[in-house]
Amino acid sequence: MSSDHHDFSPAERAGLYRAIFERRDVRSQFLPDPVPEDVLARLLQAAHHAPSVGFMQPWDFLLIESRDTRRAVKALFDGANDRAARHYAGERGERYRRLKLEGILDSPLNLCITCDRNRGGPHVLGRDSMFDTDLFSTCLAVQNLWLAARAEGLGVGWVSIVDPDALAGVLALPAGVYPLAYLCLGYVSEFLPEPELAAAGWRQRLPLTGLLRGDTWHTEAPEAVLQAVAGLSPQDASR
């Protein structure tokens, strides 16, 4: 039952939080099964309903099925990943090279969500002080799609280890259109219970209480909030 605070019913809330907590970045578990058009349409519509600065809607969605195009993107990834690996020495370097960081050819569909930096003309409402709010808006479209995909049982993996100019070239993007998110999409054998990087021992989730502050960076967060957060489990959040 909803209360008069306009909140969702407990079951609806539980569904939303479940999508949030069980969403994963997927690289290793893709199945080849095609994504039905009606499901894909719902994901794209969810993305298109993201908030955007000045209602700019700077996104376009490239649906990339061609294996030739995907092979070209995979080659860009391989080069960029080799360069990235050089940042890590010794055991950390070996561990980095063992990580699987893309599912470009394993997933049945790739999707590039772009940001047209000129959409809406030179003065978009709300963008005067923070010019990059068009990029932020496009990230929110990605997140909408990612959560909707989880609810539909589809995995999404974000591949950012590619040179954006080279990627724009492969995808024939016009000048001023930025390839913000290159995504791999498909059904999966499983959703891992924790981020793949955490499972691989690369990096763990930070405790939320350590990230809360008060009125300024140097002020402590209210004690009651700290206690409430410390008492949460992800499941509790849906109650």
Ligand X SMILES: Cc1cc2nc3c(=O)[nH]c(=O)nc-3n(C[C@H](O)[C@H](O)[C@H](O)COP(=O)(O)O)c2cc1C
Residues that bind ligand X (CB under 6 A): 24-25, 27, 101-102, 158-161, 195, 197
Q: Is 143 or 221 the residue whose CB approaches ligand X more closely?
A: 143
Please give the Cα distance from 162 to 218 (Å, whole number): 37
Please give the structure tokens belonging to residue 210. Answer: 């350590």
The answer to whether 78 and 28 have CB atoms below 8 angstroms apart is no
Distance CA 55, CA 125 (A): 8
Rounded least distance, CB 195 to ligand X, Å: 3
Task: Name which of 82 and 220 has its Cβ closer to ligand X.
Answer: 82
Nearer to ligand X, 46 or 167 (CB): 167
Whichever of 124 and 188 has its CB closer to ligand X, that residue is: 188
Find out whether 102 and 184 touch, Cβ atoms under 8 Å.
yes
Give the side-chain half-sphere CA count within 13 A for 108: 13
Residue nearest to ligand X (CB): 195
- Nearest distance in Å: CB 160, ligand X: 4
Closest separation in Å from C-beta 135 to ligand X: 11
Q: Cα Rg for the chain, rounded, in angstroms?
A: 20
Instruction: Closer to ligand X by CB, 105 or 221: give it.
Output: 105
Closest distance of CB 235 from ligand X, Å: 16
| Closest approach of ligand X to the CB of residue 159, in Å | 5
Q: How far apart are CA 116 and CA 177, in angstroms?
A: 4
Which strands make up the sheet holding 154-159, listed edge to edge? 59-64, 109-116, 177-187, 154-159
**Nearer residue to ligand X within complex by CB, 55 or 191:** 191
CB of 174 vs ligand X, minimal distance in Å: 23
Instruction: Please count the other Cβ atoms lying within 10 Å of the Cβ belonging to residue 191.
Output: 13
The least CB distance from residue 39 to ligand X, in Å, is: 20
Helix axes 90-98, 67-85, angle to 10 degrees: 170
Taking each helix axis from N to C terminus, what angle separates 133-151 and 10-22, rounded to the nearest 10 degrees?
Answer: 110
Compare residues 41 and 208 and give the one whose CB is closer to ligand X. 208
